[in-house]
Chains A and B, each alone.
Chain A
Amino acid sequence: MTTMAADAGAQDTTAHEADFDAAVAADERIEPRDWMPDAYRATLVRQIAQHAHSEIIGMQPEANWITRAPSLRRKAILMAKVQDEAGHGLYLYSAAETLGTGRDELLDKLHSGRQKYSSIFNYPTLTWADVGAIGWLVDGAAITNQVPLCRCSYGPYARAMVRICKEESFHQRQGYELLLALSRGTEAQHAMAQDAVDRWWWPSLMMFGPPDAESAHSAQSMAWKIKRHSNDELRQRFVDICVPQAASLGLTLPDPGLRWNEERGRHDFGAIDWTEFQEVLRGNGPCNDQRIGQRRRAHEEGAWVREAAAAYAAKHGKATA
């Protein structure tokens, strides 16, 4: 590049950057063909990929119960839910693709551990009630995180989130309803529900990420309007929503420090064990190896199927593929 061209390029970038900043400030959507800072693109790819990976890894703990669902109605609901998660994975990988990063590349990064998925899915589903606890708490936390993303500055991501949030809200309700049936059922069923809530409550609170002061990506993402609220604010909202719901369920939350704070008009709650969070993140959760192992295995064992489809498409032209 000559000096003149470089200058022109720099001026272009400055002009583009001003347009981009103005669009974000005016709450307009950034679309795939619009200019965007490299770091904005990279942040979105990282976040959307992590979200997509979470959807497909998140299928595993629930699929664990499809073959054991205790009634045909519950089995149908659970299969539909796990299918929705695969569908969410598809929308999200497509949203990432609009930023120039294909699904294959992202899956490679997931399989090699260079990209993460939500740590919550490294916990095991030990009983049927865990399916309910995941719906109520894990999907509930996900919705609290994701509803603001429907107003995210990047158009394709925001639009994908509108649809995903509608389905997540169904997932959350089925989890609550499943737990309610157990809580009001036999003594053994009630105990199963309480045990599941005891195990899933704290990991769900960790889903909002580290405290604001320690969150690596928060400030810039808020400035870009990718993120709209801080981790701690979303976590507080979630606690405030869950406390009355737990009471309606007839279940308790495993936190002796949980109480209404009249002055703040919100619930106080106990300290989160961030050591556990860091350990699970580092790969030392109960199911890290199992989850990523199953994902890799499905991918590797499916390679010949994908190769066959590609070979067939090459022989017969894309139109019939």
Chain B
Amino acid sequence: MNGASVTVGEAPLATAALALGDDALVLSHRLGEWAGHAPVLEEEVALANIALDLLGQARTLLSLAGDEDELAYLREERSFRNAQLVEQPNGDFARTIARQLFFSVHQHLLYGQLAAGDGPFAPLAGKAVKEVAYHRDHAEQWTLRLGDGTEESHARMQSALDGLWRYTGELFEPVEGLAVDRAALREGWLAAVTEVVERATLRMPDGPQTGAWTAGAGRQGIHTESFGRMLAEMQHLHRSHPGASW
């Protein structure tokens, strides 16, 4: 159910904008949680930079579906359309990198397709695909270092890939209003992820990419436990001052 005052467009364009916008918004928020906790100063800069790029994309996308702040701060959990992958807690640095690898490779290929087309997302995707190329490179470079670094980093990275694998299938579910070649997207993603995972001396996870209560439901508004707490923190101040300007 939507918060009483939230107007959400129902056209296919708005549905697609919400799915893409919520992915960017939620992942940006998770990355923002790293501020002051990163393993090395360079990563404070890099993670904040990725978070900022994603937040910029989210603001453009949400504005296609309604008012950005109403959508971010006044919707209930069930109205968020992000994939469950992006809401997964940061965990250790390996888990954050695995989440970013899975997402950024997907977003890079998706935005590449959208940018090449003439649909309503082409202008945004054309700009964002350049940012996302850096996010992807950052995630790939760290996957290589953690996979082919020490015994400990190898084990942590493998466990992160395995743990998040079941949330990846949802990325390829059809989204209304988003005209893309899903088969090509899935194929390209699998090839790219396999290539970097193997180069990193890691192995591809072998479990299912979806499950009844795991991936596949985020786009319909079913999320995982930690997401409600994330939203409670994100929305609390805004909701405590109804109608205020900031």
Interface set of A (CB-CB < 8 Å, partner B) = 56, 59-60, 63, 66-76, 79-80, 82-83, 86-87, 89-90, 93, 103, 128, 178, 181-182, 185-186, 188-189, 294, 297-299, 301-312, 315-316
Contacts and interface: CB of A to CB of B under 8 A. Distances in A.
Given A188-B241, A305-B93, A298 B39 contact: yes
A186 B241 contact: yes
Contacts of A128: 237
B52 interface: yes
Interface of B: 25, 29, 32-33, 35-45, 48-49, 51-52, 55-56, 58-59, 62, 68-69, 72-73, 92-93, 144-146, 148-150, 152-153, 156, 233-234, 236-238, 241, 243-246
B59 A315 contact: no
A121 to B, nearest CB: 11
A104 B16 CA distance: 47
A125 B244 CA distance: 21
Contact of B72 (A72, A182, A294, A309): A72
Contacts of A305: 39-40, 43, 93, 146, 153
Given A72-B72, A185-B244, A186-B244, A306 B148 contact: no
Contact of A79 (B40, B52, B144, B150): B52
B234 A76 contact: no
B13 to A, nearest CB: 20
B148 A312 contact: yes
Contacts of A311: 149-150, 153
Contact of B35 (A66, A90, A308): A66
A89 B41 contact: yes
A302 B42 CA distance: 12
Contacts of A312: 144-145, 148-149
B145 A86 contact: no
A309 to B, nearest CB: 5
Given A56-B41, A298-B37, A304 B52 contact: no
Contact of A93 (B41, B45, B48): B41
B244 A189 contact: yes
Nearest to A303: B39
Contact of A68 (B44, B52, B92, B234): B234
B90 to A, nearest CB: 11
Given A83-B44, A188-B241, A308-B145, 4 more contacts: A67-B32, A82-B36, A86-B48, A90-B42
Contacts of B150: 304, 307-308, 311
A86 B149 contact: no
A83 B36 contact: no
Contacts of B59: 72-73, 76
A83 B36 CA distance: 10
15 contacts: A60-B36, A67-B233, A68-B233, A68-B234, A68-B236, A70-B241, A83-B35, A181-B245, A185-B245, A186-B243, A297-B37, A305-B39, A308-B145, A309-B149, A310-B149
A67 B246 CA distance: 15
Contacts of B145: 308-309, 312
B45 A86 contact: yes
**Which 9 residue pairs across A and B have the least CB separation, nearest first?**
A302-B39, A308-B149, A308-B153, A83-B48, A86-B44, A63-B35, A305-B39, A63-B36, A312-B145
Nearest to A74: B246
Contact of A67 (B43, B93, B156, B234): B234
B45 A83 contact: yes
A29 B25 CA distance: 47
Nearest to B44: A86
A93 B40 CA distance: 13
A181 B244 CA distance: 10
B75 to A, nearest CB: 13
A170 to B, nearest CB: 15
A103 to B, nearest CB: 8
A72 to B, nearest CB: 5
Nearest to A313: B145
B237 A70 contact: yes
B241 A79 contact: no
Given A63-B35, A67-B233, A79-B51, A306 B40 contact: yes
- Most interface-central of B44, B150, B234, B236 (chain A CB within 10 A): B44
A315 B156 CA distance: 19
A302 B40 contact: yes
B222 to A, nearest CB: 23
